[in-house]
Amino acid sequence: MPSLRVDLPSFAGTYRSAAGLVALGNCNGATARRLAAVLRGAGAVPGRAPLDVELPAVPEALQGLRRTVRRHLGAPCPDVQLCVTELVTNVIRHVREGAPVRVRVARTHGGRIRVEVTDPAAQALPVRVASGPDDETGRGLALLDAVALRWSVPRGVEGKTVWCELRDVDAAS
């Protein structure tokens, strides 16, 4: 590379491996997922393990999932249960019934509960649609908007995660 006045063979010999967060791009998929999980858990309340469930997205699993969320939080939590149900139902309808999902519910600092539903279809992004008064579907994201403080959909290499944050049921009391 004469224009840069760099002798390429000697330059190549001085490479130092990346350190810190820059090195994250150099890891394999499994390591990246573990690191992302640790970073996501950084806001979790110490001493309270999150609920972390992997299951097939099937209608028959929804009732048990709602019950599991309520038991995990230890209090009535209809808004959290609604969000979990709507997000998993979106996977059933728009990805495919039986798709593997990961549901994570965690208390975070600041009096919030974070719900995450991860599925393998990064391209199937949720879209809020207008539904008529007689429509039986199409209200899931409107409900999420109504009860969640905020929500988003980051995409990854192996899928997407729809997450939302709600007021903690303990903090609301």
Identify whether residues 53 and 136 lie together within a single domain.
Answer: yes
> Mean of the pLDDT values across residues 142-165?
92
Please state, for a pLDDT cut of 90, what percent of the chain lies above it.
Answer: 52
Q: Residues 143, 149: contact at Cβ < 8 Å?
A: no
Q: What average pLDDT does this structure show over 12-19? A: 46
Same-domain status, 83 and 156: yes
Residue 170 β-bridge partners: none
Average the pLDDT over each of 11-25, 63-77, 94-108 and give the range with the smallest value: 11-25
Instruction: Give the total number of structural domains in the chain.
Output: 2
pLDDT at 50 over 60: yes
Residue 66 shares a structural domain with residue 146: yes
Give mean pLDDT, residues 9-19: 47
91 in any annotated domain: yes
Residue span of the structural domain in which 106 resides:
49-172
Identify the band that residue 19 occupies on the pLDDT scale cut at 50, 70 and 90.
very low
Residue 83: predicted pLDDT: 96
Considering the domain boundaries, does residue 135 fall inside one?
yes
The amino acid occupying position 127 is V
* 132-152 pLDDT, tens digit each: 676 666 677 888 889 999 999
- Asked if residue 1 belongs to a domain, the reply is no
Same domain, 30 and 77: no
Query: Do both 28 and 77 map to the same domain?
Result: no
Amino acid making up residue 52: D
Token match 């209200």: residue?
139
**135, 151: one domain:** yes
E-only strand ranges, the chain: 51-56, 100-108, 112-119, 150-152, 155-156, 159-167
Q: Are residues 53 and 98 in the same domain?
A: yes
Are residues 162 and 153 in contact, defined by beta-carbon separation less than 8 angstroms? yes
Same domain, 93 and 11: no
Percentage of the chain surpassing pLDDT 70? 66
Are 28 and 57 contained in the same domain? no
pLDDT of residue 22: 45
- Whether residue 160 is predicted with pLDDT greater than 60 in this model: the reply is yes
Q: What is the CATH number of the domain that holds 108?
A: 3.30.565.10
